[in-house]
Amino acid sequence: MDRGGCQMSGGGSDGGSGPGPDRHGMITLEDLESFSEDQLSDSGNGSLEGGDTMEEDENPDRLLHYWQEVARGHQVEVSQDMAEPIQQLSSNNQGRSHREQVPFALLGRKEKCGEILYEKRHYEKGHWACITMHEETYEQSICYGFMRIMKYICQQNSLGDYLGMTLPIVTVVRTDENHSGISHNVTVAYYLPAEHQTQPPQPLDNDIVIEIWPAAVVYTRAFSGPTNEVTIINQINILAELLDSPEACVNDSFIVAGYTNPAHSNRQNEIWFLERH
């Protein structure tokens, strides 16, 4: 991987989405697009108690207040300037059942007793918007990274327009040689929608870099629930044991792919191993 593991590459590395606010979830783009005003009125959290029927135009900061409350449990601050991106992401995605998927070709899978243990996929070369964070904790790095990527998606780009959601949103994590700990140096990456792949809009945030990730072969295992340091290390070790030749993959950088809103009771994630070139 290049730039500390930001690129999806099969080479070596310089170093390599759970339940809601009362558990180990993290603020992601999927979180912020998933809550309509009606859902917030039923949340029962603090100022968002059920039965509150205030309309959006009477309280434009309603979503912001909700996410400030979610973030507080992770020692993350959601600033006032996030209000507009949060509103944009929510309004642009309400009622949409389809979001663009990062394209790949399935090369094969390993199954046992009807259970898919892992899949082998080929991902084509593509443009990704990446930001690498260095916060005090792993969760803080991911939260702050997602929020800055979200601003890029919601008008803080050279087009000044909403770019559209793609899934999964991925994070590149780096581990020690024994896979016993995760570095807080975390890269958050967003795949540009097909209409922007040829000419990616440039970010206004100088820390967000548009990179071309080369084609890669990925071994991926699905898992549900929260994504935190403990679960990620556990999933890395599980997949390493399942692979016939784990040494054929990069062994100190991994990708966590998130597909589902962390407030969902059965959040869908994947751990990705990248095959070496």
Within a domain: 229:
yes
Tell me: pLDDT of 223 over 90: yes
Residue given tokens 């991987």 in the structure block: 1
Tell me: pLDDT of 25 over 50: no
Comparing 9-23, 76-90, 101-115, 229-243, which segment has the lowest mean pLDDT?
9-23
Within a domain: 113:
yes
Position 9 scores a pLDDT of: 47
Question: What is the band of 7 on the pLDDT scale with cuts at 50, 70, 90?
Answer: low
Q: How many CB atoms lie under 10 A from the CB of residue 111? A: 10
Residues 6+ apart with CB under 8 A from 116: 109, 110, 222
- 99 touches 166 (CB < 8 A): yes
Residue given tokens 């990705």 in the structure block: 272
Task: Report how far residue 267's alpha carbon sits from residue 259's, in angstroms, rounded to the nearest whole number.
Answer: 8
Q: Are strands 166-167 and 100-101 parallel, antiparallel or unpaired?
A: parallel
Q: What is the pLDDT of residues 59-79, one digit of tens each?
A: 557 777 777 776 776 677 777
Task: Report how far residue 254's alpha carbon sits from residue 256's, in angstroms, rounded to the nearest whole number.
Answer: 7
- 64 touches 81 (CB < 8 A): no
Residue 219: domain span: 3-19+99-274
Domain containing 104 — which CATH number?
3.20.80.10
Position 57 scores a pLDDT of: 39
Q: How many CB atoms lie under 10 A from the CB of residue 266? A: 8
DSSP annotation of 45:
B
- 215 touches 125 (CB < 8 A): yes
CA distances (Å), origin 241, targets 192, 230, 234, 236, 272: 33, 17, 11, 9, 14
Task: Report how far residue 208's alpha carbon sits from residue 221's, in angstroms, rounded to the nearest whole number.
Answer: 28
Mean pLDDT for all residues in the chain: 77
Task: Report how far residue 268's alpha carbon sits from residue 223's, in angstroms, rounded to the nearest whole number.
Answer: 6
Within a domain: 106:
yes
Greater pLDDT, 58 or 129: 129
Across 34-38, 48-52, 154-158, the highest mean pLDDT is recorded for: 154-158
Q: How many CB atoms lie under 10 A from the CB of residue 68? A: 21
Within a domain: 31:
no
Within a domain: 253:
yes
Within a domain: 70:
no
DSSP annotation of 48:
B
Greater pLDDT, 33 or 52: 33
Structural domain count of the chain: 1
Tell me: pLDDT of 15 over 70: no
Within a domain: 146:
yes
Rg of the chain taking only CA atoms, in angstroms = 18
Within a domain: 245:
yes
